[in-house]
Structure 1
Amino acid sequence: MTSAVSFKQVSRHFGSVRAVDAVDLEIAPGEFFAMLGPSGSGKTTCLRLIAGFEQPTAGSISIFGERAEGVPPYRRNVNTVFQDYALFPHLNVLDNVAYGLMVKGVGKAERLKAAEEALSLVRLPGYGARRPGQLSGGQRQRVALARALVNQPKVLLL
């Protein structure tokens, strides 16, 4: 079976700092995988490498059997829910969730329907007209999760 994510001897150096050093990793499709370690141990760098925000200094990364080095983030079927949620304060909740579909060129009716379904999935039906500033921290987190899920990514990074 092809791995959802595969690292083969992946390293990422920032000058003399080895943030990630010769990591081998296989994550199966559908698997929930958690990286644990102290601050500065390379967890976030590994996520950034999978997402394409960083490129490895050495080694290879594959996503569902396809080499990922040099593939820009927008060409990977990977979504990331950031620690600060990265919601657009000037957009309402529904438009925040639908944003990725709009960028992909999905028609308005289809993307709004998908966004409503994603909000229901995270138990926020009826919140579409609110602004992020009108939500609790937990609600903003669920909006960010809905925004990632609506794109039906092959890999979801949290």
Structure 2
Amino acid sequence: MWVKEFEHLQHTFDTQPSRGLLQSIAEIQTITIERRPINWHRMKKFFDDAIELTEILNAKEYGEIIIQIRLSVGKTIEGLSRDEEEAQSQEEKTLQWIAKERRKLDEREAEVRKGKRKSTREFRKSAESEVEKVLEEAKKALETTAFFSGLETTEG
């Protein structure tokens, strides 16, 4: 691999790259090839390592380009973080509003159920009174009929 070749050529440079730097550069290549996602902290370390490598290779113009890329990516990541925080905040506000509305609906539902129970009790009471009234009238009618039947039997 090219990193091993680079290690053999170290004596030709003014500054010696550390084994960690070389491994980091190799890891950048692996992550790029495999398209593995990385977080901003790790990406920033890769940029820093790449800048350090450009200094070792006396390729400062590339280092400046990498610095600009790191700044641009950093700004993009910061913007993304702000947007995500705003979306999170908006979601929380919306969920709080939904919870508040849900509580109102639950209260309204409880009121409707309570009203139904009250109405049902009143309807039953009214029906009970009506049945008692009908039974009382039937009782009186039967008593009257029995009374008159008794008179007819005694007269006859």
TM over 0.5: no
Quickly name the TM-score band, shorter chain normalised.
under 0.3
**TM-score, normalised relative to structure 2:** 0.23
Q: Which has the higher helix share?
A: 2
Q: Which has the higher strand share?
A: 1
Which has the higher relative contact order, 1 or 2, with Cα contacts under 8 A spaced 6 or more apart?
1
Larger radius of gyration: 2
**TM-score, normalised relative to structure 1:** 0.23
